[in-house]
Structure 1
Amino acid sequence: MRKLSILALACIASLCFVQCAPEKKNPPDGWTYLFDGKTLNGWKPVAGEAEFIVEDSTIVGVAKANTPNTFLISEQEYGDFILELDIKVEHKTSNSGVQIRSNYDPEGKKGKGLVYGYQVELDPSERAWAGGIYDEARRGWLYPLSLNPEASKAFKFGEYNTYKIEAIGNEIKTWINGVETAYLIDSTDARGIIGLQVHSIGNPEDAGNKTYFKNIRIKTDSLKPTPFKKEVYVVNNLKNNLSEYEKQTGWKLLFNGKDGEGWVGAYKDSFPDFGWTIDNGILTIEASDGKESANAGDIVTTREYSAFDLSFDFKLTEGANSGVKYFVTLSEGNKGSAIGLEYQILDDEKHPDAKKGKGGNRTLASLYDLIKAEKQPRFTKPIGEWNKGRVIVYPDNKVEHYLNGVKVLEYQRGSEAYRKLVAESKYKIWENFGEAPKGHILLQDHGNKVSFKSVKIKELHN
């Protein structure tokens, strides 16, 4: 048998290498890879000192002690897009996120640099809000996953998770591993950078923990919105607006932003001709003397509701008191504000009512005089800023209160526990208080200036 020459062997080896080497994957039609798998070209680290390295076609973010949040940001800005990437964390403290349509101010934080804007959360903690939408270094949580708790199971710790982020027009939607996660409508930023976060760490022993990012790809042309298949709550920050998706899933505006259509004064046949004003899409009860329903009076919906999901934005002035009541029957004939279950609206710091009642059950977002709202200060907007209230009454009479997307209390209308609370409250003089099968929605005049917008409702059925 003839021996092959060294040259022939070299040629065969070269041919085998060409034919057998793994072929570099091309992106699907219309997509572009933002990471070449080898270098950090097109990206730059800012705002902190955590390290970003490339290993095995993956960007690896390495946590570092004594440094603020660090971001690897794109050098290019993007407007409308669909972004997909795979992310993995291997330590419960490795909070992270993906910045989209975000901003970078190199002079921020005294020249250390500041990244701010929309962030799609990566949360491996027990809270499990991965896929929710946060406003980094600005407004805080916009879409906490308490609004879509079923989706909290989508994220897999210690495994790669495929994130899909769709930003088209004012709508931002997220998916994790194919699960519909968050739906935000917001007009604050229409374009900006994309960024990968390595969060600051509180414990130096967590230094060196890694977050992995790979297969980062984007589509910017010929975009078609992906409809959500299931019904999820939409955080819609456009004033008095309903998206087509909200309309299709049963939402209706209770306040049209222009006039008092659908509302009348409590115990009256028409909308009050003084006290309540509508200006630039905002409904305001003007200040009088701080007394309960002693000036223009409360207003109520002309329709009655039984099971529903009610949302409303409200803004307090300093020291103000008001409320949103539900299951208002107007049958008690009492003086002052009409009787009903009340979502308390209050300046907890400056109004004396916060210290009355029992155990804080007259504070902001509480079921007034019955159940205290368990809320964290970070989820309460300051006086003069808009807060989001929400009340859900299920067909089985379970009730939930939310403040800025976070559930703060729940109870069961008509239960033994509920009736015990009523018996110990100011409402004990009314038989079967709060147990009517249906009632009006009420906005309260308590003599203080309080504003409302984006009041919407969805009726619920078995």
Structure 2
Amino acid sequence: MKKNFLLTLLLFCAASLAAQNWEPLFNGKNLKGWKKLNGTAEYKVVDGAIVGISKMGTNNTFLTTTKNYGDFILEFDFKVDDGLNSGVQFRSESTKDYQKGRVHGYQFEIDPSKRAWSGGIYDEARRGWLYPLTKNPCAQTAFKNNAWNKARIEAVGNSIRTWINGVPCANLWDDMTPEGFIALQVHAIGNAADEGKTVSWKDIRICTTDVERYQTPESKVAPEVNAIANTISPSEAKDGWVLLWDGKTTNGWRGAKLSTFPEKGWKIDNGILKVMKSGGAESANGGDIVTTRKYKNFILTVDFKITEGANSGVKYFVNPDMNKGEGSAIGCEFQILDDDKHPDAKLGVKGNRKLGSLYDLIPAPVEKPFKKKEFNTATIIVKGNHVEHWLNGVKLIEYDRNNDMWNALVAYSKYKNWPNFGNFEEGNILLQDHGDEVWFKNVKIKELK
């Protein structure tokens, strides 16, 4: 019975694939249906493949389809010489009002370097990396150097997923560009030794009919990245994530020492929650803000961006009633700081007041993946008494509380006079006003059992 079921399933899958309506984008003979944009690198047809040839002294060169595509499944084979970087654009554009016609949009990365990010998603000439393969390291071995590789891109609504040789690579949720052309890229080169190297594509085909029917079933092999600010994707919702800040209102938040949200010192600006600059004093302007409810076990993610010399923090296990006087509300803190410019970085013990540290208690590593002029993601994981701090997907510290070692650590910190510090079973979550301008967005939480 089991064998009969498997045979029936295989026959059904084969029939479904046979019914899929594929359209060739390349006829194997010439470049009909394609046009060249932006650069002067050469494209030619050799043995049924489109071959792009690198050239010194030119910008990125793109061979684009003359048609636009919205929802689709795209497959192609590709091969690239070592030393080159390339990609395949999709849902991309070239308009006079955007950098004088520069091609921009989503790019399926082709990367034969040791970095091995082939199959990742780059936003060409716009936002940069949306899905580097640091998000999915298991996919870094999918690409085979000096060989033909098979690629698959599924772009259906806001869902964009990629594969190389059957291995899931990227899984992106984004809505910036719903449709656009497809393009093959010959990347600009800066080394004369790379001139004449090639990247090739063949068997390029697309399905635009009944696309949802032929989508690959969802899986968690490639973790999803939601690039739509202040939203929860269907996959995130299914996994238990909710917005802690909705990106538009002050709902769910109040001043740490107020019953309402502060009337000054904080600003909501185009989906960003900003602490306004006010001289650098701790909680002396608008003051800290806290969630209106408490949390116990959770994964919290907060995207933050600092201005030069800024100081702030994300606190948890906060009891707003512990400090009604001057200064910040009391709780464990994921430190947010400009380590290079703020004097607090040189205080404390062994760097325990630097970015990512458990403030004044446990130092984060000196080397960490911090992007000073961009948004960074702080992640705090609480499972009972075990706590972890992460920055941009890299674990910085972990510790256990409610034990003698923890209490001894607290006894030698600035928190020694606060009863039961860090040992509360639950508490509010806090965003700190330290008198410097800091931006927050994508504040999300997943409560754990």
C-alpha distance after superposition, 1:193-244 (max 9, x if no partner): 2111222334332333332211111122332154421265433233321121
> How far 1:446 sits from its partner (Å)?
0.9
**1:215–1:456: structure 2 CA closer, same or farther, 3 Å change rule?**
same
Asked if 1 retains the 8 angstrom alpha-carbon contact of 2:35 and 2:64, the reply is yes
Whole-Å separation in 2 of the counterparts to 1:429 and 1:108: 56
**Residues 1:97 and 2:87 aligned together:** yes
**1:41–1:155: structure 2 CA closer, same or farther, 3 Å change rule?**
same
Asked if 2 retains the 8 angstrom alpha-carbon contact of 1:317 and 1:450, the reply is yes
**Residues 1:235 and 2:225 aligned together:** yes
Asked if 1 retains the 8 angstrom alpha-carbon contact of 2:410 and 2:421, the reply is no
TM-score (norm 2): 0.78
Which consecutive unaligned segments of at least 5 residues does structure 1 have? 1-25
**Residues 1:86 and 2:97 aligned together:** no
**Residues 1:336 and 2:311 aligned together:** no
Whole-Å separation in 2 of the counterparts to 1:287 and 1:440: 24
C-alpha distance after superposition, 1:171-192 (max 9, x if no partner): 3222223333223233332222
Q: Helix, strand or coil for the counterpart of 1:145?
A: coil
Return the match for 1:251 from 241, 256, 262.
Answer: 241
C-alpha RMSD of matched pairs (Å): 4.0
- Map of 1:91-170 to 2, 5 A cutoff? 91=82, 93-104=83-94, 114-170=102-158
TM-score (norm 1): 0.76
Count of residue pairs the alignment pairs up: 424
Q: Helix, strand or coil for the counterpart of 2:235?
A: helix
**1:439–1:45: structure 2 CA closer, same or farther, 3 Å change rule?**
same
**1:278–1:90: structure 2 CA closer, same or farther, 3 Å change rule?**
closer
**Residues 1:193 and 2:186 aligned together:** no
Q: Helix, strand or coil for the counterpart of 1:172?
A: strand
> How far 1:114 sits from its partner (Å)?
2.9
Return the match for 1:313 from 279, 299, 303.
Answer: 303
Return the match for 2:193 from 199, 205, 211.
Answer: 205
**1:118–1:56: structure 2 CA closer, same or farther, 3 Å change rule?**
same
Return the match for 1:450 from 422, 438, 441.
Answer: 438
Return the match for 2:364 from 368, 371, 379.
Answer: 371
Return the match for 2:391 from 378, 402, 405.
Answer: 402
Whole-Å separation in 2 of the counterparts to 1:141 and 1:150: 18
Higher alpha-carbon Rg = 1
> How far 1:272 sits from its partner (Å)?
4.3
Whole-Å separation in 1 of the counterparts to 2:291 and 2:331: 13
Whole-Å separation in 2 of the counterparts to 1:267 and 1:338: 8
Q: Helix, strand or coil for the counterpart of 1:150?
A: helix
**1:195–1:436: structure 2 CA closer, same or farther, 3 Å change rule?**
farther
**1:365–1:192: structure 2 CA closer, same or farther, 3 Å change rule?**
farther
What is the aligned partner in structure 1 of residue 278 from structure 2? 288
Q: Helix, strand or coil for the counterpart of 2:178?
A: coil
Whole-Å separation in 2 of the counterparts to 1:65 and 1:279: 44
Asked if 1 retains the 8 angstrom alpha-carbon contact of 2:64 and 2:183, the reply is yes
1:31 maps to a residue whose letter is W
Asked if 1 retains the 8 angstrom alpha-carbon contact of 2:130 and 2:227, the reply is no
What is the aligned partner in structure 2 of residue 30 from structure 1? 21
1:221 maps to a residue whose letter is T
Whole-Å separation in 2 of the counterparts to 1:149 and 1:325: 30
